[in-house]
Chains A and B, each alone.
Chain A
C-alpha cells in the first residue's frame, strides 16, 4: 500500500512541465544516441552533465536516466536496418533482426523490438519499485567494512564479466583508482600527486576524464574508420507484428524481462550479458533452433526485452546500496554527487521526492519511447542518413564547451584531450575504458571505508572477516580470482 501511495507522490512530483520536458528530452536524446553508432549513453551523459548544473537534482537525474534507458530502445533500429549495433547491448539483435529486414520484415522486427522493450522496461520498473526499498532497509545495517567489501566485489565482477581480457580490465580499474587518488585526500586533507598544481588539488574531475575517454576517444576511433553510411531500404509501413509474431514472441518477452532484470542487478555489463543469455535461452528452448540467425522473431523479441529490463535492474544496487553496478551507473552516481546527493541505503528515506520522481518518470519515459520508436521510426531512419562529419563536429563542440563551462578552467580541456587520446589508444590495445571510470568513481568510497573500518577495529584487519556480509563478499572475490587462475591453468593444460 505504501508503495502505491509513494508512486502517486512520484507522479505528483513528475507532473511539473519542467520535469516532464526533461524526461522527454532525456528519452529523445537516449533514442538518438542509441540509433547512432559510435557514441553511447555513457559519453552522452558525461557531455550533458555540465548542462544539468542549472537544473534542480530531480530534473537533472530524470533527464540523465532517460538517456540511459532510452539508448536501449534506439540501438535496435540500427541493428535491424544497418546490421551495425547502435549500442553494444544490441549486438545480438543484428543476428536475426537484419535477416528479417533482408526478408522484407523490417517493420515487424522494429515493432516487436519496441514493444518488447516497452514491456521489459515497464515491468522491470515495477520490480525496481518493489525491490529497492526493502533492499535499502536491509542495507541500512551496512557499515564501513560491508561497503568496502561490496565495492571490491562490484569492481571485481565488472572486470571479470566484462568484454575482453579480465587482466586488462583489472589494470584499467587499478589505473582508475590511482587517478581518483590524485588531489587532497578526504580524511586528512593531504595533497597527493598534485605536483603543486592548483587544478589537481581538488582532484581530477570525473567529467573531463569521462568526456575525454568516452566522447573524444570514441570519436577519434570513428573518425579513423569513417565507415560508409548505408541504410537498408525496406518497407516501414507495416510495423505491427502479426498474430503469429505475437504468439511466437510472448514467452521470449516474458523470459527476457525476468532474465534481464535479475542479470541487470548483478554488478557487471548486465545489458550485454542479458541479451546473449536471452538469445541462448530462446535458441535452446526453441523447437526450431536451426532457424536462429536466419530471421526469427524470437531472436529479436527476447534480447531486446532483456536489455531494457537489465537497464532498469541496474538501478537497484545504485538506489538501494549507493553502489553502481556498471560504468553508466557510475556516471549517474557522479551526477548525484555533483548535485549534492550521496546515494546510500538512506537515499530513499532522505530523498523520497527524487527516488519516486525517477520511478514515475520511467513509466512515462517508457510510454514516450514506445511512441518515439514505433510511429516515429521513420525519423530515426532519416537521422541515420545525416552525414557523420556533421554529427562528429556537433559532438566535439559539445564536449569542448561542456568541459570548459564546468569551472572555466583551460586545464580541464587539456585533461579531456589527454584522456581522449589515452582512450583512443587504449581501445586499440583492447583495453575497455568502462572499469576505469567505475573505479574512478568508486576509488574514494573504497579508500574512505577501508580506513574507517580499520579505525573502528583499532587497526585489526580481521574486521573484514569477522562480519558475515563483508566476509562472504570478500570470499566470493577470492573464489572469483581462484576460478580465473584455475580456468587459465586448465586451458594451458588442454593446449598442451
Chain B
C-alpha cells in the first residue's frame, strides 16, 4: 500500500517532465508574430501550464505528507486474482487488435470473447465456449451482415 501523497509526488513529476518535453518540442515549431501567431504558441502554453500545475501538485503533496497522517489507498497495481483479471483482459484486447488482420473478424472475435470470459470470471470450458460462440455469431450478424461494417477476412476467408 502506497501513501497517496507519494503517488501524487511521483505523478506530479511525470507531469513536469511531460510539460518539459512538450515545451522543448513546441519550440521547434514556427512562433509567428503577434498579428499572426504561429502553431508553437498554444502547445508552448499548454506545456508551461502543465509544468506549473505539476510543480504545485508536487509541493502540495509533499506538504500534505509532512503535515498530516498519511492518507492510504488501495494498491495502484491490484494483487492476486484481481491483477490476473485486469492483466489478462488487457492482454486479450491487445492481442485481438494485433491479430485482427491475420485471423480475420470471425476468429478474432471468438478468441477475444473466449479469453475475456476466462479472464473475467471463468465458468466451465463448455459454458465459456458456448457463450463465446453466441457472442461471435451475434456480433457477426449485427455488425457484418446487418450494419455492413467491413472487417478483414483473414485465415477463414470470411
Q: Which residues of A contact B (CB under 8 A)?
A: 51, 54, 167-168, 170-171, 174-175, 177-178, 181, 185, 187-188, 190, 192-193, 216, 219-220, 223-226, 387-390, 392-394, 396-397, 400-401, 404-405, 408, 410, 413-414, 417, 420-421, 424-425, 428-430, 446-447, 450-451, 454-455, 458-461, 495
CB atoms of A190 and B39 under 8 A apart: yes
Q: Is the interface of A mostly helix, strand, loop or mixed?
A: helix
> How far does the alpha carbon of A413 sit from the alpha carbon of B99 in the complex, in Å?
12
Nearest-neighbour CB distance to chain B for A494, whole angstroms, equals: 12
Check if B107 is an interface residue, CB within 8 A of chain A.
Answer: no
Interface residues of B (CB under 8 A from A): 4, 7-8, 11, 15, 22, 25-26, 29-30, 33-39, 41-43, 46-47, 49-50, 53-54, 56-57, 60, 67, 73-74, 76, 78, 82, 85-86, 89-90, 93-94, 96-98, 100-101, 109, 112-113, 116-117, 119-121, 131, 135, 139, 143, 147, 149-151
Q: Determine how close the nearest CB of chain B comes to the CB of A451; give it in whole angstroms.
A: 6
When the two chains form their complex, are residues A226 and B85 in contact, meaning their CB atoms are under 8 A apart? yes
Q: How many A-B residue pairs have CB under 8 A?
A: 148
- Among residues of B, the one whose C-beta sits closest to the C-beta of A418 is B94
CB <8 Å contact, B151 and A404: yes
Query: CA separation between A216 and B89, bound complex, in Å?
Result: 10
Given A188-B30, A223-B120, A226-B85, 9 extra CB contacts under 8 A: A174-B50, A190-B38, A193-B25, A397-B112, A397-B113, A428-B73, A428-B74, A447-B42, A459-B33
Is the pair A192, B76 in contact by a Cβ cutoff of 8 Å?
no
| A226, A387, A400, A450: most-surrounded residue (chain B CB, <10 A) | A400
A417 to B92, CA, bound (A): 11
Compute how far the CA of A280 lies from the CA of B5 in the bound complex, rounded to whole angstroms.
32
Report which of A226, A396, A408, A424 forms a contact with B121, defined as CB distance below 8 A: A226
* Contact indicator A425/B34 (Cβ below 8 Å): no
Report A-chain residues with C-beta under 8 Å of the C-beta of B96: 400
Question: Could you tell me the dominant secondary structure of chain B's interface residues?
Answer: helix
Question: Is the Cβ of A389 less than 8 Å from the Cβ of B117?
Answer: yes
Contact, CB under 8 Å: B38 / A188:
yes
Given A51-B147, A226-B120, does the pair A429, B11 have CB atoms closer than 8 Å?
A: yes
Q: Are B7 and A429 in contact (CB under 8 A)?
A: yes
Q: How far is the CA of A396 from the CA of B113 in the complex (A)?
A: 9
- Closest approach, in angstroms, between the C-beta of B67 and any C-beta of chain A? 7
Contacts of B15 in A (CB 8 A): 171
Identify A185's interface contact among B39, B47, B78, CB under 8 A. Answer: B39
A171 and B56 CA atoms in complex are apart in Å by: 11
The answer to whether A174 and B86 have CB atoms under 8 Å apart is no
B149 touches A401 (CB 8 A): yes
Q: Can you list 13 A-B pairs, Cβ within 8 angstroms, ordered by A?
A: A167-B56, A190-B29, A190-B39, A193-B22, A223-B86, A223-B89, A408-B150, A410-B97, A410-B98, A429-B7, A430-B4, A450-B42, A458-B34
Residues of A within 8 A of B98 (CB): 410
Contact A414 B97 (CB under 8 A): yes
Residues of B within 8 A of A428 (CB): 73-74, 76
Contact across chains for A216 and B143 when beta carbons are under 8 A apart: no
| Chain B minimum-CB-distance residue to A167 | B57
- Assembly CA distance A401 to B53 (angstroms): 37
Q: Is B8 touching A397 in the complex (CB atoms < 8 A)?
A: no
Distance between B33 CB and nearest chain A CB, rounded to angstroms: 7
A175-B50 in contact given A223-B85, A397-B109, A397-B113 (Cβ < 8 Å): yes
Decide: B11 and A393 in contact? CB cutoff 8 A. Answer: no
Measured between alpha carbons, how far is A495 from B63 in the docked complex, in Å? 13
B120–A392 contact, CB under 8 A?
yes
Residues of A within 8 A of B22 (CB): 178, 193
Is B139 a contact partner of A181 (Cβ separation < 8 A)?
no
Query: Considering the chains assembled together, what is the distance between the CA atoms of A141 and B38 in angstroms?
Result: 27
A392 and B116 form a contact (CB under 8 A):
yes
Q: What residues on A are CB-neighbors of B42 within 8 Å?
A: 177, 181, 446-447, 450
Bound-complex Cα distance A495 to B69 (A): 13
Cα separation A461 to B33 with both chains bound (whole Å): 12
Q: Closest CB-CB distance, B30 to chain A, in whole Å?
A: 7
